[in-house]
Chain A
Amino acid sequence: MPLASVARWLEQREWAGAFSASQWLYPSVLATHLTCIAIFGGMILVTNLRLLGWLRSQSVTGVVQKLRPWKWIGFVIMVTCGALLAGSEAEKYYVNPYFWVKMTLLALIGVHGLVFRNSVYRNTAELDSAQIMPPRAKLAAVLSLILWIGVVCAGRMIGYYVGPRSLAVALWR
């Protein structure tokens, strides 16, 4: 099924129009999305700082394993908010390059998790005892930081794109 027609179908749903035009509901969902960036983005930042060798007082096991369920909860909340936000204006998001950059970066984050899974994320006991963090852990942390900061910036830029097609759609409506 071509994605463009799925996007059009989504945006035509009744809830979509009411939601994206609402005075308080849409901003509240967006603010929740932003709060999750602060809380769970903060957890991810702290994990990466520990993998780089700072924040020595916390064990790697602590920041990686113990915080993992909370990071997943945060991820689920963010994806739910994101789905509501994007789904209610699906056609405008479909043509928005920043949105696709963000989705690509999220996919790359998934790849990153798989690539460094065995050497870093399931290997916390060994990393705990390391005096100096091994290069692979540092690489994982740097890449993770670049990818997540990229996601946040691309997300912010979504609102700034006014494309020719979306403008035509808005005018046509």
Chain B
Amino acid sequence: MVQYVALNVDYATRRILSSEILFSLDSATFRVLPNRLRKMLIQTNVVLQAMIEKQWLFPATECVHIVSFALSVGTITLVDFSLLGIGLQRKAASQLVRSTDLWTLSGFVLIVFSGLLLFASDPDHYYLSSVFQFKIACLVLAVIFNYTIHRKVALSADASGMASKMAAGVSLVLWVAVIFGGLFFSFA
């Protein structure tokens, strides 16, 4: 039997008072999900329950998130720096992209996985925040840019041309925007 929490109580109090942690039918996130997912989620939010039972799970997931973005964003910025002529040489860029490919991808997988767990712990708080939406928009743009234009430029033998510098610049700006967005979101 599914229990419904009273909807005229403010969000924070609702979460504290409810002994069964629910995905409220009033939730904005809930409303945009497809039906099958809604049926799954109408029962207890297992991620949130686990994180409340074991207090260390949320910080641990955040640490996984941070270390995995150090891995993926770090390898990407290393390529960017070599495209800009900083650090490793420009001609190392194509080899660097090929070698770090798997590590960058693993980093992305871990980021998305830990990110989804963090998101699931408090869906509305994330989904409704414009700062978070900005972060995800930048993330999507950054990932797409990384696997299309950035990759093409890095793999070509264009020695310190404008294309390299511009691709590196755009990539750096996008990833820094993701990180800043993530932090400003968690602060507000």
Interface residues of A (CB under 8 A from B): 27-28, 30-31, 34-35, 37-43, 45-46, 49, 54-58, 62-63, 66-67, 70, 149, 152-153, 156-157, 160
Contact = CB atoms under 8 A, between A and B. Distances in A.
A35 B88 contact: no
B74 A42 contact: yes
30 contacts: A27-B183, A28-B180, A30-B187, A31-B184, A34-B66, A34-B179, A34-B182, A35-B179, A35-B180, A38-B74, A42-B73, A42-B76, A43-B78, A43-B87, A45-B74, A46-B75, A56-B99, A57-B92, A57-B95, A57-B96, A57-B98, A58-B88, A58-B95, A66-B87, A66-B88, A67-B88, A70-B87, A152-B66, A153-B67, A156-B66
A27 B92 contact: no
Interface of B: 59, 62-63, 66-67, 69-71, 73-78, 81, 86-88, 92, 95-96, 98-100, 103, 175-176, 179-180, 182-184, 187
Of A34, A42, A157, A160, most buried by chain B (CB within 10 Å of CB) is A42
Contact of A37 (B66, B86, B87): B66
A126 B103 CA distance: 26
B121 to A, nearest CB: 15
Nearest to B62: A156
B64 to A, nearest CB: 9
A55 B73 contact: no
A62 B88 contact: yes
Contacts of B71: 42, 45
Given A41-B74, A42-B78, A34 B183 contact: yes
Contacts of A66: 87-88
A160 B86 CA distance: 37
Contacts of A40: 74
A152 B70 contact: yes
A27 B98 CA distance: 35
Nearest to B55: A160
B77 A39 contact: yes
A26 B77 CA distance: 24
Contacts of B74: 38-43, 45-46
Given A67-B88, A70-B87, A153-B63, A38 B77 contact: yes
A153 B59 CA distance: 9
A57 B75 CA distance: 14
B72 to A, nearest CB: 8
A38 B73 contact: yes
A160 B87 CA distance: 36
B63 A27 contact: no
Contact of B67 (A54, A70, A149, A160): A149
Contacts of B98: 57
A67 B99 contact: no
Given A46-B100, A156-B59, A160-B59, A41 B70 contact: yes
A9 B79 CA distance: 44
A31 B69 CA distance: 13
